[in-house]
Structures are given as structure tokens and as C-alpha cells.
Chain A
Amino acid sequence: MGYITIDGVKTPINDKKNLLEVIRESGVDLPTFCYNSELSVYGACRMCIVEIEGRGLQAACSTPPEDGMVVKINTPATMRIRRMALELLLSNHHGNCQTCDKNMHCRLQELADRLGVKTVRFEESRELLPVETTNQSIVRDPNKCILCGDCVRMCKEIQGIGVLDFAGRGSNVQVTPAFGKELKEVECVFCGQCASVCPTGALTIKNKVDEVWKAIHNPDKMVVVQIAPAVRAAIALEYGITDGEHAMSKTVTALRRIGFDKVYDTSFTADLCTVEEATEFLGRVAEGKRLPHFTSCCPAWVKLCEQLYPNYLNNLSTCKSPQQMFGSLVKKLLSERHNIDRKNIYLVSVMPCTAKKFEAERPEFSVDGNPDVDAVLSSQELIRMIDQSGVKLTELPLDSLDLPFGFKTGAGIIFGASGGVAEAVLRLAAAKDETDNQIIEFKEVRGLEGVKEASVNLDGTTIKLAVISGLANVQRVMDKLQKGEVYYDIIEVMACRGGCIGGGGQPLPNDMAAREIRKDVLYNCDAMQPLHNAANNPYVKEAYATLLQKPNSAVAHKLLHTSYHSRRRITGEQVQLSRTESKKKLCVAVCVGTNCYLKGSYDTLQKLSALAQEAGLADRLDFKATFCFERCKKSPNVKVGETIHGEVTPDTAETFFRETVIPALEGRETVATEA
């Protein structure tokens, strides 16, 4: 236990890992751009520069505190350096603040004001680069980037993906996806955690507010909104309302004032999802098939699984996420009940998530070109829309959600926190009968920890479960699972740490402290509900009685379930390996994408090439290495002519050459001769 002296005040170190943390704990908000206590230390922005006796000027973030250190925060030198660094950042920043998405929420703007930078002596010299607006979730404006690298470290360290990185050198450095491609062309899962840590307007959420206003102003449209569980926690924190029920009630009033015709709760379909998924899971356990069972509510995880783990796509729950179940079921029921064309129902979701925007536009979630969910607003956009309307949320009276799709049990609400989906399923599985409405708390799966494990005894069967949040944690567990080092029966996955409460669409700050508060809001909401077991939701029961028959029935499958397909990580071209002049040549393309490569496709390629040489057919076969046919389940894949063949391993390459390639070549010969 040591002490340092900060501006003459003796301050305990308290095991803080760096000087910046000690200073901040002492009540001084020493500014930073590139420091994030949850990421590695980068030390580039120079805002946290301090003077240390005997050592001179040092960045506090990258200096370990030592007993007896004497530190001065505001000296002529540190203040000059901070201002100068800020001025230089401003000179390279496209500062159209009033119309910027981050206006009033921008760290650069805030610090320029706080530090008293009133003029920028350097002219903006860079040419403006194009702004990327081509994906559904994230807008990337390189002209606003100050190169703090927070997004780079978030994506790499916490999400384990590494979509963004620094490229170039010196004054040409940029933060960019590989090869200057767009986010939709690379392995981005649109979780939005990069935008959550971006201090400026370089990474922001794609804004759909105007589109929603347009629908509201259209008299032909019935505009319906569903609100996700985690949104109430965000609203509560943002407006300083202590409980989520209260926050939700005020939000309902605000949304009615804005002009929404019906206000519903996504927790309703979270209940429905629990019933469907618990049935599906218990069925798998009984059959001992498709285990471990993975939850599929999180669209960022689903996309990652499609990219990296094609062999586990069969293990993903086939249940649509609550957002998509809501879209599919409620559009159908409302159009029938109100006798209106489904095209005239405009369904808005308010989600804590940016990946939900991507999910809503997946082609499988539409009927005759009409999407099940028309627009997804993030919590941030909801707050913006309320602000735009001028409605003062905190001063509004309370109101209640519309029935039937506004009714939920506590199980549906906790879906918004890591562990919530698992707990909802366990509650249902563990309930003795319908009258059993005790909260069965599974505390071991609650909390923000990235990997949680538990064993639960269900009627004599022990169920091993894992609850994971943060995609880097997911990849670590998947590695162990694939190596057989661990086993679970059910794995709940949420891409963002702490679950949806920390989603990329949540208001800023979206740090672990905010997530902790939001988590408590949700569990308190659960405690306040009359029902805690999803199966007891009377309107879920009604839906089964009138339409869905029983869990996992054919009609439930049609409306509430989906399927997945493998997906390439990055766009790219084929690599030509040989070029033959023969007109009778046959193209043999071997996939060397991630999944095929890991299963030895390169060796397959080498073997096929050697076999062609041996057989004297080298000049008739055109070998190519290609990236991803999106059939990774059957990797390694080889395309001969126009047909893709799966599972061509190095061991089976010889048989494949004899039985598939040569006959295909002979077939071509016949065609060529006839021609």
C-alpha cells in the first residue's frame, strides 16, 4: 500500500494499475481520448500528460504508480501540451459540429470547450474522404477520426474479430477495414461496440429516425412499435428514473404522443421464444442430438457463427430472435384482426442493438418482399426522436402498453441481460406445473462476467450450461469446445459484454458501470411482474390456442423458426494457379477460405494438382484457389466446372480425382467434339 502526492495532496494508490486511475479516483477528471479502462493502454492522445518530479513529463495512463511519486497535473508545460495536442487534432478533424451525429455527445467537442481551445491556427489540409453509409448498422466517417484506436482495440480485444486496424503511415494513417473495403464486405458482425467507444463522429449508428417519422405522417400506415427489454434500462439511466417499469410507462406515453398507433413489448415474444426454445432444447436433450444447444437471439453471434463455425450451425436454436418472432407473428395477427394489408402495417423495433438493424434486413425475414420488421431504431435514436418531438419524458404522465403483445412475464424482461435467456429457459424447465409461479432464481448465470458456468439438475438429469458474453470470450470457449476440453448442454451467447443492456445501440457512456446499473434495472423489473415463468404468459397461451397449436408445431415452425447458412468472411477474387490454352479445359477451383483451409484444403489442392501432372492432364485442367463458396459445413469444397463438391479432404483427393474430375473432363470432351 503506497501513496503518491498529487498537487500536494497525499493520495493512496489502492492497487490502481496506472497513475491515471489514481488521479481520477482522487476526484480529478484528467482528460483522455485513447484510454479505456476495459482495453489495453495505448498512450497516444497525450491528454493525460502530467509532470512527475525527477522524471519530467509522462502520460499518466502508461505510468505505473510508485510509492512516493510527486505528481503535478496542471503546470504551464502540461497545459500547453494538452492544448497544443488538442489543437492539432482539431486541425485534422472535419468539424461540421452542428450537423454531426455526435453533436453535443462528442468527446473532442467537450474537451476543446473544457480546455479552452478557442482558435485553431492550422488549416485543415486533408482532402475529404468518402463517408461509408452502405451497411444497415454503422456509419463510418474517416474525416472525423482522431486515430485514438479505441475502436480497433475494442473490436480486437473484446470482440476478438479485428475488423478495423490502422493502415498507412505518418500523416496518411487511417483506421480502416482490410484493403480499404467497406464494413459489409468484411467480417464485421455489426455489434456496434466500436461506435460505443468512438469519442467523435467517426463511427456512429445509422439513423432511421426520419424514415419512422415519414411512416407516422403517412395516414395509410398503421404504425406499431415493439420495445426490447434492455431499452427500458437505458431510458431509466438516461433520464434518471429509478426503475424500468416507470421508465417504460413514460416511454409509452411519449411514443403515443409522437403518433405510434400501438405500443408493444418485445418481452412478449421473448416469452414465446422461451417456450419454443425450451421445448426445442429439451427435445434435443431427450434425443441426445444437436448438442450443445446454442441460443440464437443475438444476430451478431449468429453472423459470427455463420462465418466461423459452420459445423455448429445445426446446433444453433432454430428459433427466430424475439424481434423477428414479433415481426412475423404480430404483422400476421394484426393484419387479420384489423383486416388491413400487411404492407400497410409499419412495424418499428426499438432495440439496444445495431446488429438488429442488419438482422431485420436479412432476406429470410420477409413475406413477398415486405419485411417483418420495417425499421429498427436503437435506444439512442429513440431518445433522439423523443427530443425531436419536444416531449419532456420525465414530466409525462404514466401509461400502459397495449394488449395483448404488451404483456410479458419477468422471464421475458431478463432476456436483455447476459444469463437472462438461459434463466428463462431454466425457469420453464424447472417449474413443477402451471401454478408454480415462484421466481426460481439462477443467480450463478447472472452478472456481467464474460464466461459463467453452472450445472442444474432437471428431474434427475444434470444440465451443464455456459453463459458467454463478449465475442472474444465466445471464441475462446469455442476453441476449447472444438478441442473437446469442455462440454456443455446449452450455451447462451450474447455478443456484447453483459448482454443486450450493453448493446452497441445503447446511449453513451456505455461502459461496464452503466451496464451494471442497467442489469439491476432489469432484474428489479422481473421482481415487479406478477408472473416469472414464460409458459404462464396468458397471451402466449392464447397464441398457441388460436394459431400456433403447440410449441414446435408445424405452424410454429413456419412462423417462429428459421435456418442459417455459412457466410464468407471477406470479399476477394480467385487466384489463378495455372492457365491452359486447351479449349477442352476444365476449371477446378479449390476453396482456401478459413474453414476449408483449416481442414486441409491447401493439401487437397496440391494433391489434385500433382495428380493432374501424373495423369498428363495438366494442360487440360485450370486450377484456381478461391475464397469461400459459403458451403463451409461441407468443407473442404472443390468446384469442378459448375458443380461444387464437398468434403474433398487430402485423403479422399485421389478417389475424387478419379471418380469426379476425370469423368467431368471426359464429359467436356464429348460436348466439345459434338460442337
Chain B
Amino acid sequence: MVPTKTAMDIGSRARHFDKIQSIIEEYGATESALIPILQKVQAEYRYLPEEILTFVATALQLPPATVYGVATFYAQFSLEPKGKYVVRVCDGTACHVRKNAALIAALKKRLGLADGETTTEDMRFTLEIVSCIGACALAPAIVIDGKVHGQMTAEKAIKALDELEAAEKEEK
């Protein structure tokens, strides 16, 4: 059974809240450790839940508004739950002129994302449009689960996603 969004959400909290305190202890409960702590929290959760940010603020004795400010400043942090796999489509100048728009449309269709949606309902994929990733020679480029795929076409991108899903099934 595919877990529903809420069940998965609660499940992930149950698994990871335990680690928050050890993450804070690892970096030390000081203001200067805030960013590394948030990075590690995000690595555990795939996003920064509000309750956890309040908890981090409490532990570091910072105003929650300050922690919220830092969490919303950096593009690497997300306050919304992200999918298991993050697909980043580069929208830098080179990729843009190499027609990444078609690529984005095809990926959205493959993932069943409506306008404004970024994460699939089963919490497996998140699609992000990002600024230049520095792979202009390979334009248009996308990053799937941290791996750069260059000279993309709609067909190649969809194939990459299909392969990822097939590999996941095999693991199970």
C-alpha cells in the first residue's frame, strides 16, 4: 500500500524527532550553529517542519522569528514536505534558451503535477525550477536525486524517472 501523505508525514516525524536533540548536541546549542543544524534537520526530514523549527529556536534560545528568517532566506531549505526524490530543472540562461520549457511541461505531465504544485501526492517526487547550476555546457540540464543529467530531452528525462522507479521496485 502506498502510504498517504499524512501517514507518511507523521511516520517521518516519529522516526526522526529523536534525532533532533542529538543533532543540536553535535553542533552545540549556539546561534552560529543554526545553519548546520537546519541543514542536518532537513537532511533527516526532507523539509523543516514548523514544530521542529520552534524546538530548535527554544534549544538555541533564539526568537522563532529569527530561525524562520534564516529558514526562508536560503533556497536549500524548504518549509514544505519534499518528495523522496528531488528533480531540479536548471532555468539559467543557457538552459532557458535551449528550450527547457518543454522539458518542464513533460516532467509535470509525467508526475501529474497541476500548476503551482511541486510535490506528487505519494510524496515520491518534488519538481523544482532552480537558478543556474553551472552546467551550461550540458544545457539543458536537470538534476535527479543529486545527479546531473545533461543535454536533456523530454524523452530522456522521463526515461530517467522510469528507471529510477524500476530500480526502487527491484530493491523491494
Interface residues of A (CB under 8 A from B): 156, 161-169, 176-179, 186-187, 569-570, 572-579, 592-594, 597, 602, 606, 625, 627
Contacts and interface: CB of A to CB of B under 8 A. Distances in A.
Contacts of A594: 58
Contacts of B62: 162
Interface string B50-70: 111111011100111111110
A167 B54 contact: no
A156 B51 contact: no
- Size bracket, chain B contacts: 20 to 34
A178 B63 contact: yes
A164 B63 CA distance: 9
B10 interface: yes
B69 A165 contact: yes
A602 B21 contact: yes
B64 A570 contact: yes
A575 B12 CA distance: 11
B101 to A, nearest CB: 22
A572 B65 contact: no
A178 B73 contact: no
Contact of B65 (A164, A597, A606): A164
Nearest to A594: B58
A358 B65 CA distance: 22
Given A573-B51, A577-B13, A168 B72 contact: yes
Contact of A577 (B18, B68, B74, B79): B18
Contacts of A164: 65
Given A156-B63, A177-B65, A179-B50, 20 more contacts: A162-B62, A164-B65, A165-B65, A168-B72, A176-B65, A178-B67, A179-B53, A179-B68, A187-B64, A572-B54, A573-B50, A575-B49, A575-B55, A576-B10, A576-B17, A577-B13, A579-B11, A592-B55, A592-B58, A627-B51
A606 B69 contact: no
Given A169-B72, A606-B21, A186 B65 contact: yes
A200 B108 CA distance: 43
Given A178-B64, A178-B68, A572 B50 contact: yes
B14 interface: yes
Contact of B14 (A165, A169, A186, A577): A577
Interface in B66-95: 66-69, 72-75, 79
Contacts of B73: 166-169
Interface string B6-26: 000011011001100100000
A575 B51 contact: yes
Q: Chain B at the A interface: mostly helix, strand, loop or mixed?
A: helix
A625 B10 CA distance: 13
Contact of A576 (B13, B58, B63): B13
23 contacts: A161-B63, A162-B62, A162-B63, A163-B63, A164-B65, A165-B68, A167-B69, A167-B72, A167-B73, A169-B72, A177-B65, A179-B64, A572-B54, A575-B49, A576-B13, A577-B13, A577-B14, A578-B14, A592-B58, A593-B58, A606-B21, A625-B55, A627-B54
A446 B84 CA distance: 62
Nearest to A164: B65
Contacts of B67: 178
A317 B118 CA distance: 54
Which of A178, A573, A574: most chain B CB closer than 10 A? Answer: A178
B6 to A, nearest CB: 11
A575 B17 contact: yes
A338 to B, nearest CB: 49
Contacts of B58: 592-594, 597
Nearest to B64: A178
A163 to B, nearest CB: 6
A645 B57 CA distance: 25
A453 to B, nearest CB: 26
Contacts of B50: 179, 572-573
